[in-house]
């Protein structure tokens, strides 16, 4: 060995990758470059790659390994036979005396640092061609936890050497064209963190590639349960640009995972790691406090800034509450993709939902199910089938390559199944709980991961479209183009679109999809006479201190997540506009809603907000909006009031909002009004004196101008926003609003469906047009053409 065989982490940097592999080089880089920033990495050392080569030479293994690989290449041996033979040769080998002494001295020094006779260490493989951007893959080599004593350490090092020739590692190098003899292995020996909680984090959203967030998963105990997908972990999403402001807490998503199991350090060599069930109390509580989430997110930002690329990291929290960064490597999926190319999948029809879980990727796949209990069953898996498994580990990768999509019972979006599915560009629905029980071999299903964070498995093969959009070719327009957003997690998937903000986010959509209960039932569950229904409502808040706090927290984070997708551009959030019949469909709604003959013209929109039957609930909406803007930092949220019939009603609503901390002009708050009633046009100047802008609701305006029920199938032919009377109203409100300095936008499908309508709006000088995201490419083309032809 020409170099010293042991290198302490603090001696290493990224430049040492050829000597100690990516994993160990990155640990050294973290310690050297970021320890002064407060980032803590457990101490340890790495073996130089020359020690691995010396081990092979000392045991004269070069020739037999080469012969075994040649036999594989010639087809005289199977992959399994080849890997088994090479690993057996290495495991039976002995360390050169010099190498053994060097490891022994380094381990003794590490024990002395910690003041422990036999320190527990993590022993990790770090191949010298591992973790390169062009050749990264999850779990290529082995790691061993809770190793104590020199004899066990030497054995773990030998097993790490052998793992360079696992079947999956051999196959991977063959596939990527790495000469086997040019790849060596370094062993990292790191002080073990007896973790109270641990997990994984990415410095971007690994599904959409949205670069301005940190995704963090957490579970109790060691991080193995998260990495291997054994549990469904807690999930946190943090908006990075606002982390610099200590007065705000930009955690835009906070989801409690079931965390049914935890891994802890075992008592002896036979059981180095023990898997235990978690208590009901642990399952009902987050594994991290919010301050710890924010601290880890700031670490992720610092690591990303140092490396100049998105990062994939593992972390742990010890029993004293101390945080540690265990590993870091460059993220290798979205960093390789073109940011100017947007691929959009869309189901053309929907069917019966069989299962739901966490969506991995943004694609759709359809095909027959094949339930596989072990990778040893690879031969019976048909190419192009949907792989269904309890969970996956690195041994499953050859089989996963042949799948069209993947479904697992357990795991979150940072589990092995999720990481490899992204690497292979496969849609996956993970953490379904019972896919292996409910799905049968040969059953046709469709995986939909294109509709948000919830992935769905539908019965049968459903048709879908795939559209690839080159963003650089889309025209730029003078008219602001914005998007309509229905659910928060879907908003991140459209971050690449060249738009000017969100023109419409509907609070009622968030309530219907995420909260699901009538807000008055959350305030007054005692009025819900049905005991079973009351228990269902109370169960919604199992991770919150109260039912009203569940409403406020859930709505605030949903609004914040939408707002972060376009920050600092404006995001117009419309307060709730359920009709009474729609409110009745929420849990507990029948106990609080009147039965109206014509709900479309009844107690809806602004009239609810000061009404005694709903005023308390509107206060919850205000509290959520205030929290999103002030406590979480998203001052780009613009509040919009729907269906405001008179200026006097506007005054009453604005007064109620001010009572609840939302005062127009305070902290930059802008309040818009929907223009969807003829009175809004006729009295435009009076409404403009009370609001900062207008957004035309073309459906309701058309309905009320023409006297046509928008939901009537018999009158559908009469319902047209391009009717001259409706267009006259639109032209009038734009002109009158502009005269008093107020902007006017419109949200609806008509400008996209009808280029002549887009041209009309442009000629009227409308300030913004908001579309559903998938309509934006066509809309930009129509608007650009209209602008060119307009005088």
- Beta strands, E only, 665-780: 671-675, 693-697, 744-747, 768-771
Q: What is the DSSP string of 239-307?
A: EGGGGG-TT---EEEEE-----EEEEEEEETTEEEEEEEPPHHHHTS-SS-HHHHHHHHHHHHHHHHHH
The CA distance from 44 to 27, in Å, is 9
Separation between Cα atoms, residue 382 and residue 370, nearest integer Å: 8
Euclidean distance between CA atoms 381 and 374, whole angstroms: 11
Helix (H) / strand (E) element for 504: namely strand 502-506
CA distance 17 to 15: 6
Quote the CA–CA distance of 402 and 420 in Å, as a whole number.
12
Burial per residue of 211-230, b for 16 or more beta-carbon CB atoms within 10 angstroms, e otherwise: bbbbbbbbbbbbbbbbbbbb
| 238 bridge partner residues | 214, 251
**Rg (Cα) of the chain, in Å, rounded?**
30
Q: Which of 675, 747, 764, 782 is catalytic?
A: 747
Q: What DSSP state is assigned to residue 672? A: E
Task: Give kind and range of the element (H or E) at residue 519.
Answer: helix 519-523
Count of Cβ atoms closer than 10 Å to residue 376 Cβ: 10
User: 468 in helix, strand or coil?
Assistant: strand
> Distance of alpha carbon 617 from its chain centroid, rounded?
30
Q: Which residues pair with 744 in a beta bridge?
A: 694
Torsion of CA 784, 722, 601, 528, to 10 degrees: -40
Angle between helices 62-73 and 49-58 (to 10 degrees): 90
Tokens representing 491? 């908003």
Which of 334, 416, 567, 782 is catalytic? The answer is 416
**Planar angle of CA 415, 417, 418, nearest 5 degrees:** 65
Name the token pair of 683: 């009295």
Question: Is 622 an annotated catalytic residue?
Answer: no
Separation of alpha carbons 202 and 182, rounded Å: 30
Torsion angle defined by CA atoms of residues 378, 382, 385 and 387, in that order, rounded to the nearest 10 degrees: -10
Phi, psi of 679 (to 5 degrees): -60, -30
Angle at 357 between CA 355 and CA 361, to 5 degrees: 120
Could you say which DSSP state residue 318 is in?
A: E
Q: Which secondary structure element, helix H or strand E, spans residue 639, and what is its range? A: strand 637-641
**Is residue 176 annotated as a catalytic residue, yes or no?**
no
CB 29 within 8 A of CB 12: yes
Residues serving a catalytic function are: 416, 747
């Amino acid at each position: 060995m020409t170099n010293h065989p042991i290198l302490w982490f603090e001696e290493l940097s990224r430049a040492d990758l050829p000597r100690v592999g990516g994993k160990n080089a990155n640990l050294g880089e973290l310690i050297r470059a970021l320890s002064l920033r407060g980032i803590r990495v457990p101490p340890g050392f790495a073996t130089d790659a020359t020690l691995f080569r010396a081990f092979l030479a000392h045991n004269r293994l070069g020739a037999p390994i080469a012969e075994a690989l040649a036999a594989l290449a010639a087809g005289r041996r199977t992959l399994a036979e080849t890997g088994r033979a090479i690993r057996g040769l290495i495991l039976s080998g002995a360390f050169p005396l010099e190498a053994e002494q060097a490891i022994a001295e380094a381990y003794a020094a590490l024990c002395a640092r910690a003041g422990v006779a036999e320190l527990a260490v993590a022993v990790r493989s770090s191949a010298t061609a591992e973790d390169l951007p062009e050749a990264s893959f999850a779990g290529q080599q082995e790691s061993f936890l809770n190793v104590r004593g020199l004899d066990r350490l030497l054995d773990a090092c030998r097993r790490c050497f052998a793992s360079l020739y696992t079947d999956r590692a051999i196959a991977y190098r063959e596939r990527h064209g790495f000469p086997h003899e040019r790849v060596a292995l370094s062993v990292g020996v790191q002080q073990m963190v007896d973790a109270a909680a641990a997990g994984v984090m990415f410095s971007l959203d690994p599904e959409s590639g949205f670069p301005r967030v940190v995704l963090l998963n957490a579970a109790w105990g060691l991080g193995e349960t998260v990495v291997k997908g054994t549990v469904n972990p807690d999930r946190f999403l943090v908006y990075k640009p606002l982390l610099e402001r200590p007065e705000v807490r930009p955690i835009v998503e906070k989801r409690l995972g079931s965390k049914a199991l935890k891994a802890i350090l075992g008592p002896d060599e036979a059981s180095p790691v023990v898997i235990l069930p978690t208590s009901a109390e642990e399952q009902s509580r987050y594994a991290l406090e919010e301050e710890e989430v924010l601290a880890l997110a700031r670490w992720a930002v610092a690591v990303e800034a140092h490396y100049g690329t998105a990062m994939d990291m593992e972390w742990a929290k010890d029993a004293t509450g101390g945080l540690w960064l265990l590993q870091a490597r460059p993220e290798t999926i979205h960093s390789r993709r073109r940011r100017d190319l947007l691929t959009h999948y869309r189901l053309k029809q929907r069917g019966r939902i069989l299962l739901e879980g966490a969506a991995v990727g943004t694609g759709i796949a359809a095909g027959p199910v094949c339930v596989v209990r072990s990778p040893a069953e690879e031969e019976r898996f048909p190419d192009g089938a949907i792989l269904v498994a309890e969970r996956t580990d690195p041994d499953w990768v050859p089989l996963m390559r042949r799948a069209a999509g993947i479904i697992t019972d357990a795991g979150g979006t940072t589990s092995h199944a999720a990481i490899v599915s992204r690497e292979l560009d496969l849609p996956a629905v993970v953490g379904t709980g019972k896919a292996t029980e409910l799905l049968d071999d040969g059953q046709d299903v469709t995986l939909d991961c294109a509709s948000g964070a919830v992935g769905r498995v539908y019965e049968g093969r459903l048709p879908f479209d795939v559209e690839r959009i080159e963003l650089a070719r889309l025209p730029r327009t003078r008219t602001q183009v914005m998007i309509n957003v229905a659910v928060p997690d879907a908003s991140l998937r459209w971050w690449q679109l060249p738009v000017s903000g969100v023109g419409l986010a509907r609070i009622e959509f968030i309530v219907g999809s995420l909260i699901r209960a009538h807000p008055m039932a959350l305030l007054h569950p005692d009025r819900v006479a049905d005991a079973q229904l009351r228990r269902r409502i109370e169960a919604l808040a199992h991770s919150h201190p109260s039912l009203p706090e569940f409403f406020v927290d859930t709505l605030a984070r949903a609004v914040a997540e939408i707002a972060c997708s376009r920050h600092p551009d404006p995001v117009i959030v419309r307060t709730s506009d359920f009709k009474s019949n729609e409110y009745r469909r929420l849990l507990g709604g029948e106990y609080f809603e009147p039965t109206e003959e014509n709900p479309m013209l009844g107690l809806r929109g602004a009239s609810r907000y000061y009404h005694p039957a709903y005023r308390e609930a509107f206060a919850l909406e205000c509290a959520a909006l205030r929290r999103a803007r002030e406590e979480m930092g998203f001052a780009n949220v613009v509040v919009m009031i729907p269906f405001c019939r008179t200026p006097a009603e506007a005054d009453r609503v604005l007064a109620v909002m001010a009572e609840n901390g939302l005062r127009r002009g305070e902290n930059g708050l802008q309040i818009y009004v929907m223009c969807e009633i003829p009175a809004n046009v006729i009295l435009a100047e009076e409404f403009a004196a009370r609001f900062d802008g207008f957004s035309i609701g073309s459906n309701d305006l058309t309905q009320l101008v023409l006297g046509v029920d928008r939901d009537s199938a018999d009158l559908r032919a009469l319902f047209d926003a391009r009717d001259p009377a409706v267009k006259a109203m639109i032209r009038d409100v734009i002109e009158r609003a502009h005269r008093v300095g107020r902007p006017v936008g419109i949200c609806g499908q008509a400008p996209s469906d009808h280029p002549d309508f887009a041209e009309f709006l442009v000629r009227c000088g409308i300030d913004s047009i908001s579309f559903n995201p998938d309509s934006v490419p066509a809309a930009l083309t129509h608007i650009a053409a209209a602008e060119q032809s307009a005088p």
